[in-house]
Structure 1
Amino acid sequence: MSAETPVQSAGTFTRLRRRFRDWRGNRPFWAGLFTILGGVPIAYFPYATLKLGTMSLTMATTAGAGSLIIGVLLVTLGLTMWFQQATRIFAGVAAIILALVSLVVSNIGGFIIGFLLAMLGGALAMAWAPGRPEDTGRGKGAADQGPADKAAWEPTPAGEPGEPGHPHPAPGTGDGEAAGDVRPEAHHGGHRVG
């Protein structure tokens, strides 16, 4: 396979994996996943019936409706983090508040499992920031200059005034002095210094 091989020659699975990776990279994917996973145990445990041999344990309480509402809201907030990235801060704060409320309302936050997952998802949503697109072409800014252009403007510790790497021009070179351009760091006590 060479560098010129087109992407279409990759298999279907590889193309789907790349598309999913690109989709996942443009949104707070892990925040939404943890928030959704946090909502599932919070909503599930109050309605679950566990079997231990011949004995069945039912944890249905009067707070079952509240647990269901909190769980469904957490799942909805997780999906919102995936598909509406602009609302990630609101969704993160709401997920943290709902996780805290679930400690009281729904079996200690889904036996701490749902609480911890929802808290982690909310924190990740608030911490996530969209990436900046990479510059593919060369522009006019200093960030787009080549290595030789950048070296001419970077200060060197042992540089003498007037050298290309020194931040200030040599005295009397006319760089800005003829036009009356005076830099603030060139003044000491109201008197101009070389």
Structure 2
Amino acid sequence: MRRARAGFRRWRRTRPFWAALWTGLGGFVILFLPLAPLGRILQVGIGGIAGMAAGVLLLAMALLILLMPGQRYTAGVVAVVAGVASFPLTNLGGLVVGMFLAVLGGSMAVGWVPERPPRRRLFRRPRSESAS
């Protein structure tokens, strides 16, 4: 169990894991809020379709961020735009919670920098000053 946990930790540190998690959670909230009972939905109609489209797009961007860290800039920008666009198009962006999580995850993906391996110190001999 320890080896599996250590392996997952190593894998997680090589990609923007938390950005993908927040983006996916925001997409989940935006996607499934229109499927709530009618008493809990603020807007019925095109908002439900737009909410599903924005939610599916955000879930796809979360998977792209997680599985292809090299595409994190594009996926992060698309996630931020979809999160902000979900505010007027859906139920206030998943009652603002989904929009906030999508923007948070997208901005974290854009700002993530891969961890550099520690520098190896090379021991050099001091240059000897020779008079020639």
1:126 equivalent in alignment to 2:110: yes
Supply the RMSD in Å over aligned alpha carbons.
2.3
| Mapped partners of 1:33, 1:80: distance in 2 | 11
Q: 1:116 aligns with which of 87, 96, 100?
A: 100
1:29-178 equivalence runs, <5 A? 29-49=17-37, 57=39, 59=41, 60-134=44-118, 143-145=121-123
Return the index of the structure with the highest Cα Rg: 1
- What is the letter of the counterpart of residue 64 of structure 1? G
- What is the letter of the counterpart of residue 123 of structure 2? Q
Q: Tell me the CA shift for residue 58 of structure 1.
A: 5.2
Going by fraction, where is strand more abundant, 1 or 2?
A: 1
Identity %: 35
| Mapped partners of 1:83, 1:62: distance in 2 | 32
Deviations 1:52-75 (A, max 9, x none): xxxx71524322111101001101
Q: Which runs of 4+ in 1 moved over 3 A?
A: none
Q: Tell me the CA shift for residue 135 of structure 1.
A: 5.1
Distance 1:62 1:83, change over 3 A: same
**Structure 2: which 5+ residue stretches go unaligned?**
none
Structure possessing the higher relative contact order (Cα contacts under 8 Å, 6 or more residues apart): 2
TM-score when normalising by structure 1? 0.61
TM-score when normalising by structure 2? 0.87
Provide the residue aligned with 2:2 in structure 1. Answer: 14
User: How many residues are matched?
Assistant: 130
Going by fraction, where is helix more abundant, 1 or 2?
A: 2
Instruction: Tell whether the 8 Å contact from 1:47 to 1:58 is kept in structure 2 after alignment.
Output: no
**Structure 1: which 5+ residue stretches go unaligned?**
1-12, 50-55, 137-142, 154-163, 179-194
